[in-house]
Amino acid sequence: MGKERKRRSSRRYGRGESVRTLITGSRIQKKIREMAREIRGDFPEEPLHLVGVLKGAVFFLSDLARQIPGEVSFDFIAVSSYGKETHSSGQVKLTRDLDANIEGKTVIVVEDILDTGLTLQYLLRVFEQRKPKRLRVAVLLDKQERRIAAVRADYVGFTIPNEFVVGYGLDYDERYRNLPHVAVLSLGAGKKEESAQE
């Protein structure tokens, strides 16, 4: 059984890449139900406006939204970093803005993963200027060890170690988003050398 489970939880892909399950789909769904209950418990009467950060948060937002009872609306925003060097200095570019005004709304920013925190720091600055009634943050994954910016999420699904993860919306080079679980990605030996030199 142990061997069988191991065989299923680790899988090789082309290009020398392999993934190892870190959080199963059913654990994710259970956690999302708990997070939804907590969020609604904090704002029992209020319409909630979820803002998902594309593309990584699509599955998290769609599952979370369906678990929160009462009035819920949602919108999406997309950001990209200017490049690796400038990204670490907090330079983030808005590539798709929200459709609707958030002034006076109770806004929950929905992010796939909180890593350095620079993206979230940028987004919170942008949103605060637009005068929402309240601004909260829900993240599925939190890599606390990597934090640079002084930001924190109000609702956290799982705190994870400092490893590169894919699946459930998270990608590597636009791939693996469709995995129903979160997995640690191992690159082939050649790729590791390439990324070490970057």
* Residue 115 in contact with ligand IMP, rule: CB under 6 A: yes
Coil, strand or helix at 99: coil
* Residue 56 in contact with ligand IMP, rule: CB under 6 A: yes
Whether 115 sits among the annotated catalytic residues: the reply is yes
Least Cα distance to 112 among 132, 137, 145, 147 occurs for 137
Closer CB to ligand IMP, residue 39 or residue 118? 118
Which range binds ligand IMP by CB under 6 A, 16-24, 95-103, 159-167, 186-194? 159-167
* Residue 17 in contact with ligand IMP, rule: CB under 6 A: no
* Residue 114 in contact with ligand IMP, rule: CB under 6 A: yes
Task: For residue 79, give every residue at least 6 positions away whose Cβ sits within 8 Å of its Cβ, in sequence order, or none.
Answer: 53, 92, 93, 94, 95, 119, 122, 123
Among 21, 106, 119, 186, the residue binding ligand IMP under the rule CB under 6 A is: 119
Catalytic residue among 63, 112, 115, 142: 115
The two three-digit tokens of residue 17, written as one number? 């890449």
Among 20, 40, 164, 191, the residue binding ligand IMP under the rule CB under 6 A is: 164
Least Cα distance to 170 among 155, 181, 159 occurs for 181
* Residues taking part in catalysis: 115
